[in-house]
Amino acid sequence: MSLSPVEGVALAEIESDPDASTPAAKGVVGRSPGQLAWLRLRRDRTAVVSGVLLVFFLLLGLAAPLIEMVYGIGPREQFQNLLDGFGMPLGYAGGVTGEHWFGLEPGLGRDIFIRLIYGLRTSLFIAFAAALITATIGVVLGALAGYLGGWLDAVINWITDLTLAMPFLIIALALTPTITLRFYGERGQVSSAFGVGVLIAVFAIFGWTSTARLVRGQVIALREREFVEAARASGAGLGHMLFRQLLPNIWAPILVSFSLAVPQFITSEAALSFIGVGLSDETPSFGRMIYRSLDFLQTDPAYVFFPGIMIFALVFAFNLFGDALRDALDPKSSR
Amino acid sequence: MTDEPLLRVRGLSKHFPVRQGLRATGLVRAVDGLDFDVRPGETLGLVGESGCGKTTTGRMLVRLLEPTSGSIEFDGRDITHAGRRELRPLRQELQIIFQDPYASLNPRHTVGRIVAMPLQVNGIKPPGGIKARVQELLELVGLNPEHYNRYPHEFSGGQRQRIGIARALALRPKLIVADEPVSALDVSIQAQVVNLLRDLQRELGLAFVFIAHDLAVVRHFCQRVAVMYLGRIVEIGDRADIYERPQHPYTRALLSAIPDVTQLGPAGRIRLTGDVPTPLDPPSGCRFRTRCWKAQDICATEEPALVPRDGGRQATACHFPEGEAVSTSPEPAGAGLVADAAVVAAEPAGRGVQANVEEVSS
Amino acid sequence: MDSSEPLPSGEPDDRPAVPAQRSDQDAYLRVDDLRVRFDTEDGVVRAVDGVSFAVERGHTLGIVGESGSGKSVTSLAILGLHDPKRTTITGEISVGGRQVVGLADEEVRRLRGRDMAMIFQDPLSALHPYYTVGRQIAEAYRVHHPKASRREARQRAVDMLDRVGIPQPARRFDQYPHEFSGGMRQRAMIAMSLVNDPALLIADEPTTALDVTVQAQILDLLADLQAEFHSAIILITHDLGVVGQVADDVLVMYGGRAVERGSVEQVLRAPQHPYTWGLLSSVPSLHGDADADLVPIPGNPPSLINLPSGCAFHPRCRYADRAGSRSRTEVPELRAAGADGHLVACHLSADERAAFYAEDIARVGVAV
């Protein structure tokens, strides 16, 4: 109730026609709502900092092979000679040296830095792919359900409820090994691409519901707006209605939900890998690293520290950016 | 100009089922049996208070709503239940202007795109290109054609309404349904838009169904006026008939309730008591009887038909219509002060009306 | 509107820069040189810029203006409803002899409801949807009568509902706002604002959302209540017809400033400001030639963020050139014009105005 109706009245009185009094001040080309949001985003310091951080992470992930070349160490190389008799890395802080920036894994003696870079690559790839697929499924189903209504809406709602009712973890636990078994048999060497694919598929099956609900609600709210009716009165077909009239108006919430889904998938991937359903140890990933590191919490805290801080920074930056994006796209929601 | 009506509406009804859960518990009779014609180039005003069904009627005319029963004939073709493909050629001749200049323009589209939408949707490529046509339209409605690339939020309410008008004109329609096109605008802007619509109507020979609650605005725009109450037309006639010789008590009350700048202080007025009843359960017989000072027993039992009087020009659905001599009608004290200037003011009758009315009473 | 050039000496009310109305001393509400500024992202907005007026008990002042004229901001300033963090208010507002500007929030709250109350345009958003109408009215009563029992408050609320013409008030007491029709809701809103007998009632477009037949009822009700409670009423509206029907005095606002002030006869029958002329001639009427074009004011209402220099109306004024460059550089002051107490802020001389009015406006026959 902080925004009283009073304030609204006052503001409504203020905002009037910006154009009549200053025809010459602006160029002929107007600023689109998107451009205005971009301006607001650039003015927001949190957005800029978290955005720069995200771009940095993305570049790191993309350039992983390049970094490997420069760094000179691969993710699967083992440096047993730098471990002591118990398999613990020699030196301080888990074997941090000029050669191995973040030290070495106890046991196998792999380089933590380059495994983190590749882990970042895996995590980002899985998260982005899953977010893209879920967003696409969600937008298509939500828009159809919202715009067409009727039995289609009922069916899609029913499927949504069904999906939400399925226990994600249990099914993921049950499904992943079964699928793997089905494709590779008892002893087959599971390729890392397959593991990644299964993870993305599991996320896609479960993750689209929130986007679908969001889009459905937005479309229903817009469906009765007069500009939509104007298009209908001109004889526009389904494609035009959905893609030309409706979707451009709900990009903002979709974008926000996308940017908040990515960090959620990053943590989910880590969690699944942690409980052992996700990726095999072959594929470098945050979840596997943290899982392995927990055994050495007492003896080699640096091993927990680096992946932990990395995943924290990544998710934090994503969430901050998502919130900033929401504020920029819809300034009214910020208070 | 032919004598054939451009738009012929017969028995048009729209009933909305009221649901509680899955059960239909009632029926809102938003529009309940309308008959009227609009001739080419004619302007018909559809007037009434909220809940009278005027907006629903407008939406049905452009087929945004599916009529429950009755028929709509446009240009000799029955379009009551025509599908999207059948409607396509007609859409171009039948357009709508909306009330809310903020909701009626897609905020993510440039003005050029908004105005071009009807052309693109119908795959029309005007000679000289879409852009030239759009700029021509913008100029026609008094906007700077250079503003082609701007977005709606950069325009004021009046300018936005002009954009909506340009969009409606894009397909060169024969009939435009204007749903309260000026009621959301500032006073000084209302006059601009009314004048614009009037100029366009004359220049392009457009027919209009002009939906409004403001009788004064309708008087300046429409040649014929239909007054609606609770889903029915209670009176229809030429402008001079409705404003100078209103026969239905409701029309008189409506006219008398308008505060007029030219009259200072509380004038002698007809005061209706209470609000409009809910269309969920309209009164039996004459729907206006619960607020009517003339209501008798017959009004509760028998629904009055829309009967043409005065040689067919004006039709009134009332058991006790006002005669020419106003004062003789049996009225209680309060309503006796009817000597309203609106009734007295004289005006050359029937000017600019080319139509002979043949209102059909159902 | 004949003779008086600006500043004819000897008139009691021709001090430039406004104030002073005939009844200044007994006025219940006095607003003197009110200025309201908002700090926004796009710069400082002068929503109200030096407005003065007074309202006696038993009188109604109509404030007329379009969107962006500052009329609503003025009323909210009187009620002390602006967010103090983003708003700067200067000038004087005295309600029943008490200075409102600069008063602590707590004290303004005590004034609000008891001494002054507001009726909003949209009663549905002003009433809380989850409480019964009666309970909200009773609560409003108990805020200012803490000693009143629940039973007394309820009785008071039922009485008020009855007084504003709601049938079966005892039954209606327990209904929720959505169960009321639009007209009934506005009546309930009026009952709520009157429950503490405020001496000053501010009605912001109280009938704009209503149908004409219901509007007529509500305006009658306000007039009846005013006669009964002898309250001072400020009626904010864009509808000159409504003003003509119920107001005693009229203040015409444009771009945050008062452009014309006077009795309702003066302003509507012998308007002095070109903006008032424009308003009058652009309103469609039930009389006169229906086929004649309306005479609209060209252009659009100005944005308060970017107000035209000099006279804010000059870009839309057909006579701006006659006043020379002054209209663009100098803000006209509110000065005596014509009859007693009639003020206008225009660079044109009284003779010029009289001539233009006779030629262009009266001829059209819209403003009689």
CB nearest to B264's CB, from C220, C244, C297? C244
Determine contact: C217 vs chain B, CB below 8 A: yes
Q: What stretches in chain C show pLDDT beneath 50?
A: 1-23, 366-368
- Rounded to an integer, the average pLDDT of A185-207 is 77
Kindly determine whether residue C287 and residue B262, on different chains, have CB atoms separated by under 8 Å: yes
Q: Is the pLDDT of residue B36 over 50?
A: yes
Q: Which pLDDT score, from 0 to 100, does residue B178 have?
A: 94
Distance CA C344, CA C348 (A): 10
B268 pLDDT tier (thresholds 50, 70, 90): low
- C-alpha–C-alpha distance, residues B256 and B341, integer Å: 9
Per-residue DSSP letters for B216-257?
HHHHHH-SEEEEEETTEEEEEEEHHHHHHS--SHHHHHHHHH
Do residues C275 and C353 lie in contact, with contact meaning Cβ atoms separated by under 8 Å?
Answer: no
Handedness of CA B211, B212, B215, B220 (dihedral sign): negative
- Evaluate if residue B242 carries a pLDDT over 80: yes
Pairing status of strand C87-95 against strand C29-40? antiparallel
Chain B partners within 8 Å of C213 (Cβ): 49, 253-254, 257, 272
Q: Test A33 with B154 for CB contact under 8 angstroms.
A: no
Q: Which of residues 150-209 of C touch B (CB under 8 A)?
A: 181-184
* B224, β-bridge pairs: B44, B238
**Is CATH 3.90.870.20 correct for C20-115+198-368?**
no
Question: For residue range A258-317, what is the model confidence (pLDDT) as tens digits?
Answer: 888 888 888 888 888 777 776 766 777 777 777 777 777 777 777 778 888 888 888 898
For domain A56-77+115-334, the CATH architecture is Orthogonal Bundle (1.10)
Burial of A81 (0-12, 13-18, 19+ CB in 10 A): exposed
| Residue B119: φ, ψ to 5° | -65, -45
Q: Which residue has the higher pLDDT, A241 or B50?
A: A241
N- to C-terminal Cα separation, chain B? 27
In the numeric block, which tokens belong to residue C192?
A: 């709520």
**Average pLDDT score over residue span B87-109:** 87
Task: Judge whether C73 and C36 are in contact, CB under 8 Å.
Answer: yes
Q: Where does the pLDDT of residue B336 fall: very low under 50, low under 70, confident under 90, or very high at 90 and above?
A: very low
- Give the position of tokens 């009134």: B316
pLDDT at B273 over 70: yes
Lowest mean pLDDT among A89-98, B78-87, B190-199, C123-132: A89-98
Inspect the interface and report whether the beta carbons of A13 and C72 lie closer than 8 Å.
yes
Give A10's contacts in chain C (Cβ within 8 Å): 38, 47, 72-73, 76, 82
Query: Does C122 contact B at CB distance below 8 Å?
Result: no
Q: How confident is the prediction for chain B on average, in pLDDT?
A: 82
Mean pLDDT of chain A: 78
- In chain C, whose CA is at the least distance from the CA of B220? C290
CA distance C91 to C101: 7
Q: Which residue of B has its CA nearest to C275?
A: B188
What is the distance between the alpha carbons of residues C191 and C181, in angstroms, rounded to a whole number? 15
Q: What does the pLDDT look like over B296-326, one tens digit per residue?
A: 888 888 888 888 876 677 888 888 887 643 4
Q: Tens digit of pLDDT for each residue in A98-142?
A: 676 777 777 777 788 888 888 888 888 888 999 999 999 999 999
Tokens of A295: 């055994």
Pairing status of strand B94-97 against strand B175-179: parallel
* Closest C-alpha among B179, B149, B144 to residue B159: B144
Task: Give yes or no for residue A78 having a pLDDT over 80.
Answer: no
Q: Choose among A19, A227, A234: nearest Cβ to B103.
A: A227
Chain A CB contacts of C304 under 8 Å are 13-14, 16
**B188, C301: Cβ pair inside 8 Å?**
yes
Q: Of the candidates A255, A274, A261, A312, which has an alpha carbon nearest to the alpha carbon of residue A127?
A: A261
How confident is the model over B215-223, as a mean pLDDT?
90
How high is the pLDDT of residue C214? 82
Query: Between helices A192-223 and A168-184, what is the axis angle to 10°?
Result: 140
Is the pLDDT higher at B11 or at C2?
B11
Per-residue confidence (pLDDT) for residue A174, from 0 to 100: 80
Task: Give residue C54's pLDDT.
Answer: 92
pLDDT at res. A135: 93
Q: What CA dihedral angle connects A31, A34, A36 and A41, to 10 degrees? A: -150
In this complex, the chains that touch C, judged by 3 or more CB pairs closer than 8 A, are A, B
Residue type, C224: D
In chain A, residues with a C-beta closer than 8 Å to the C-beta of B95 are 233-234
User: Is B347 a residue whose pLDDT tops 60?
Assistant: no
**Option in B100, B156, B167 nearest A19 (CB):** B156
Q: What is the spatial distance between Cα A19 and Cα A38, in angstroms, rounded to a whole number?
A: 21
- pLDDT surpasses 60 at B327: no
pLDDT exceeds cutoff 80 at B266? no
Give the pLDDT mean for B208-234.
92
Size of interface B-C (CB pairs under 8 A): 153
DSSP three-state, residue B183: coil
What is the pLDDT, as a whole number, of residue A25?
Answer: 36
> Between B244 and A96, where is the model more confident?
B244
Considering only CB atoms, B167 lies closest to which of A16, A230, A249, namely: A230
Rounded to the nearest angstrom, the minimum Cα separation between A291 and chain B is: 47
Q: Is the minimum CB–CB distance between B105 and chain A shorter than 8 Å?
A: yes
Residue A19 has pLDDT above 90, yes or no: no
Say whether pLDDT at B239 is over 60. yes
DSSP state string for A187-226? T----HHHHHHHHHHHHHHHHHHHHHHHHHHHHHHHHTSH
Give the relative orientation of helices C133-144 and C150-163 as an angle to the nearest 10 degrees.
Answer: 120
Helix or strand run (H / E) with residue B94: strand B94-97
Residue C254: the pLDDT is 92
Between chains, do B108 and A18 touch, taking CB under 8 Å as contact? Answer: no
Query: Which chain A residue has its CA at the smallest distance from C306's CA?
Result: A21
**pLDDT for C235:** 94
Confidence (pLDDT) at A186: 62
Q: Which two tokens stand for residue C143?
A: 């805020």
Sketch the domain layout of chain C as residue ranges. 20-115+198-368, 124-195
Q: What's the mean pLDDT in B334-343?
A: 36
Tokens coding C24: 């200044």
Choose the mutation target among B188, B218, B293, B347 for the interface with C, i.e. most C CBs under 10 Å. Answer: B188
The shortest CB-CB distance from A226 to any of B87, B103, B149 is to B103
Look at residue B84 in the predicted model and tell me its pLDDT: 78
Q: Which partners does chain B have (≥3 C-beta pairs < 8 Å)?
A: A, C
Tokens representing A264 are 């959620």
Q: Is there a contact between C355 and C362 (Cβ–Cβ < 8 Å)?
A: no
* Whether pLDDT at A7 is above 70: no
Give residue-wise pLDDT tens across range C31-64. Answer: 999 999 988 777 788 889 989 999 999 999 999 9
